[in-house]
Amino acid sequence: MPDPKLIEDVAREIYTANHVTVLTGAGVSKESGVPTFRDALDGLWAKYDPQQLATPQAFKRDPKLVWDWYEYRRKIAREAKPNPGHIALAQLEQFFPSLEVITQNVDDLHEQAGSSTVIHLHGNIARNKCFRNCQGVSTLVDISDAVHKSDDEPPHCPHCDAYIRPDVVWFGESLPSQAFDRAVTLSERCDVMLVVGTSGMVHPAASLPLLAIKAGAIVVEVNPVDTAISGYARYKLRAPSGEVLPIVLQHLQRLSDA
């Protein structure tokens, strides 16, 4: 666990900020039992590279393999519960009522923990859409309306018969522009950006902390290990988010009661 003085300094920086923004990655859901993107490939999936599965080309090449990978991950996400890290981030709203959480995650654990505004840069694994977006971007399809023809392929769109796919952003696909634009605005406006549980490897999400710094903010990284972001983080809390974020919140509460 980081030095208590360091945690106190981080709490003070947050407490005295006007605008705080949060950017999270798969690490914040790890203690909820949701594998991070790099270890989402355990066991059965160990032989695949996520960038070989999370792409439109992979889906075209082997729709059943990709569909089954998402069914496997959706089941894990459905059974997962928010952990103390998600809950602490939601409690930040006591101090910053307009706080918005920018996440790369495709689960809904921030919402379940009580965060009021969550910006999903990479979509939502529980939702499905027509692979052709035949009714416009995005043609969401409720799984109960999908046409199940065979267990050897994904279900089909009820409008155009194309396969349906998870409503997530694959490699090589653009991020939802409204979500990314909002994330840029928040990054450029904040005084403190809390970056929690991301390796900082995937763009353009990974560029947001740098945008914040260019606009004069400081970055606080919460991650057990060094990442591509660590180099420009003012503070590094080297611990699991589920353990250290509740302690940061306790310090904030003490500062607020003083």
Contact 179, 168 (CB under 8 A): no
Host H or E run for residue 123: strand 123-130
Phi, psi for 204 (deg, rounded to 5)? -80, 0
Site of tokens 């309306």: 145
- Applying CB under 5 A, which of residues 28, 34, 102, 130 lies at the interface with Zn ion? 130
Number of residues that bind ligand BV8 (CB under 6 A): 36
Determine, following the binding rule CB under 6 A, whether residue 32 of this chain makes contact with ligand BV8.
no
Q: How far is the CB of 185 from ligand BV8 (least distance, A)?
A: 19
| Binding partner of residue 130 among Zn ion, ligand BV8, none, CB cut-off 5 to 8 Å per kind | Zn ion
- Applying CB under 6 A, which of residues 122, 156, 165, 251 lies at the interface with ligand BV8? 122
SS3 letters across 48-87: CCHHHHCCHHHHHHCHHHHHHHHHHHHHHHHHCCCCHHHH
Determine, following the binding rule CB under 5 A, whether residue 134 of this chain makes contact with Zn ion.
yes
Q: How far is the CB of 159 from Zn ion (least distance, A)?
A: 4
Q: Which of 45, 140, 228 minimizes the C-alpha distance to 54?
A: 45
Whole-angstrom Cα distance, residue 203 to residue 185? 17
Is 122 a residue of the active site?
yes
Q: Both tokens of residue 243?
A: 């353990």
| Binding partner of residue 154 among Zn ion, ligand BV8, none, CB cut-off 5 to 8 Å per kind | none
CA angle at 142 for the pair 39 and 108, rounded to the nearest 5°:
40
Secondary structure (DSSP) of 79-122: H----HHHHHHHHGGGT-TT--EEE---S-HHHHHT-S-EEETT
By Cβ distance, which residue is nearest to ligand BV8?
27
Q: How far is the CB of 237 from Zn ion (least distance, A)?
A: 45
Determine, following the binding rule CB under 6 A, whether residue 205 of this chain makes contact with ligand BV8.
yes
Determine, following the binding rule CB under 6 A, whether residue 208 of this chain makes contact with ligand BV8.
no
| Binding partner of residue 223 among ligand BV8, Zn ion, none, CB cut-off 5 to 8 Å per kind | ligand BV8
Q: Among all residues, which ones are annotated catalytic? A: 122
Chain positions contacting ligand BV8, by CB under 6 A: 25-28, 30-31, 36-38, 51, 54, 104, 106, 122, 168-174, 197-199, 201-203, 205, 222-225, 227, 240-242
